Amino acid sequence: MLYYPTYFECYPRKLMTLTFIIQNDEVLLGMKNRGMGKGKWNGFGGKKEPNESIFDAAKREVKEECGLDAISMKKIGFIDFEYVGSNEILEGHIYLCDKFKGHIVESDEMAPIKWFKINQFPLDNMWVDHKLWFPMVLKQIPFKAHFKYLDDDTIVDSTIKLLRIFKKTKEIWVNVIVKKDNKILISNNLEESKIFKRHQYVKKGESLENAALSYLKSNYEITTEEVPKIAVINVELTDNYSIPSIIQEIHMFVMDVSKLKKFTQSNDYRWTNINNAQFFADKKFLSTLCKMKPFKAYFLMDNDDVLCSKYYNN
């Protein structure tokens, strides 16, 4: 299970709203001219007033910041923002608005206000957390997240949990990495070189070790009867947000061929330095795996992008 930090739950909380107005494949963003996030594009929102519900606060902030009257608003996520050294939590309530009326009015606080195509977001000029959770807003997947900031541009820890009401089922897979010193063998075929697309399904009744060995032998010319298991990874894919939703439990084995007497490399593969290999989850994954010390990890993936990764010692 994904660990969600609870130590700060007793911290005082400041409640805030953040609403994204969506129409067709465009999102309305405003440039913030004062307060938190000055100089960044963002949705519309702000602090909840006393004696106001969070929903009313979200509607009021939309009206104040862009002039529109929100007609249909849906709560899509909760984000706890924390800054290193501060023991106050900014509790963000994230809304999606897909029905509104009125005209866009720029304000001192927000100008200019522009529609952006979903695939042309000004990501370099937005809060860095945005790209980690916005896929969930677009896919309408309810989520809960925690981001710990060192300063306004640096996140030092992040957790994202998809809030599902449906049961999650697990598929068991194995994958084997062949390594020599700090290099690994990767396929010359771009699609096949993507590690999270190239596992072997474990058949009912088959042991993980046997599945790993048969995977190894079917992909490489190798004589060994033993391959060590290094990690268990739970991969959750946002594209699998359906009923029932599937978690891939991937058992990662690593074969160090520098100690083998016989290993013949085929032309379909090439050696790549672990620091240069692409498509291997996040930057930490391969180097952690090649240290050969057992660990567990969790990845939340949106296509090839890792939205959240967590590592745990075994």
Ligand X SMILES: COc1nc(N)nc2c1ncn2[C@H]1C[C@H](O)[C@@H](COP(=O)(O)OP(=O)(O)OP(=O)(O)O)O1
Closest CA to 265 of 192, 176, 178, 181: 178
Residue 186 or residue 307: which is nearer to ligand X going by CB?
307
Residue 149 or residue 285: which is nearer to ligand X going by CB?
149
Q: Is the peptide bond before 12 cis (omega within 30 degrees of 0)?
A: no
Residue 132 or residue 212: which is nearer to ligand X going by CB?
132
Of 13-21, 194-202, 226-234, 267-275, the window that binds ligand X (rule: CB under 6 A) is 13-21
* Least CB distance to ligand X at residue 238 (A): 18
Residue 110 or residue 195: which is nearer to ligand X going by CB?
110
* Least CB distance to ligand X at residue 160 (A): 13
* Least CB distance to ligand X at residue 310 (A): 20
Residue 28 or residue 281: which is nearer to ligand X going by CB?
28
Tokens standing for residue 141? 């997947």
Residue 100 or residue 149: which is nearer to ligand X going by CB?
149
The answer to whether 303 touches 309, Cβ cutoff 8 Å, is no
* Least CB distance to ligand X at residue 257 (A): 46
Residue 131 or residue 164: which is nearer to ligand X going by CB?
131
* Least CB distance to ligand X at residue 82 (A): 9
* Least CB distance to ligand X at residue 26 (A): 19
Q: List the one residue from 20, 41, 81, 285 that touches ligand X (CB under 6 A).
A: 81
Tokens standing for residue 261? 């007497």
Using CB under 6 A, count the residues that bind ligand X: 17
Tokens standing for residue 63? 């009206």
* Least CB distance to ligand X at residue 208 (A): 41
Asked if residue 80 binds ligand X (CB under 6 A), the reply is no
The answer to whether 193 touches 177, Cβ cutoff 8 Å, is no
b (16+ CB within 10 A) / e for 188-223:
eeeeebbbbebbbebeeeeeebebbbebbeebbebe
Asked if residue 127 binds ligand X (CB under 6 A), the reply is yes
Q: List the one residue from 27, 31, 70, 129 that touches ligand X (CB under 6 A).
A: 129
Rounded distance between C-alpha atoms, residue 246 and residue 58, angstroms? 33
Residue 130 or residue 139: which is nearer to ligand X going by CB?
130
Classified as helix, coil or strand, 119 is: helix
Count of residues for the chain?
314
Classified as helix, coil or strand, 170 is: strand
* Least CB distance to ligand X at residue 62 (A): 10
Q: Contact letters (x/-) for ligand X, 21-60, by CB under 6 A?
A: --------------xxx----x--xxx-------------
Asked if residue 95 binds ligand X (CB under 6 A), the reply is no
Closest CA to 286 of 175, 131, 170: 175
Classified as helix, coil or strand, 261 is: coil
Beta bridge partners of 235: 248, 299
* Least CB distance to ligand X at residue 268 (A): 44
Closest CA to 308 of 128, 133, 163: 133
Residues 148 to 177: which contact ligand X by CB under 6 A?
A: 149
Residue 40 or residue 161: which is nearer to ligand X going by CB?
40
Rounded distance between C-alpha atoms, residue 143 and residue 181, angstroms? 40
Tell me the CA distances in angstroms from 247 to 16, 154, 185, one per residue in order: 32, 29, 27
Closest CA to 233 of 27, 2, 31: 2
Q: Which residues bind ligand X (CB under 6 A)?
A: 16-18, 35-37, 42, 45-47, 81, 90, 92, 127, 129-130, 149
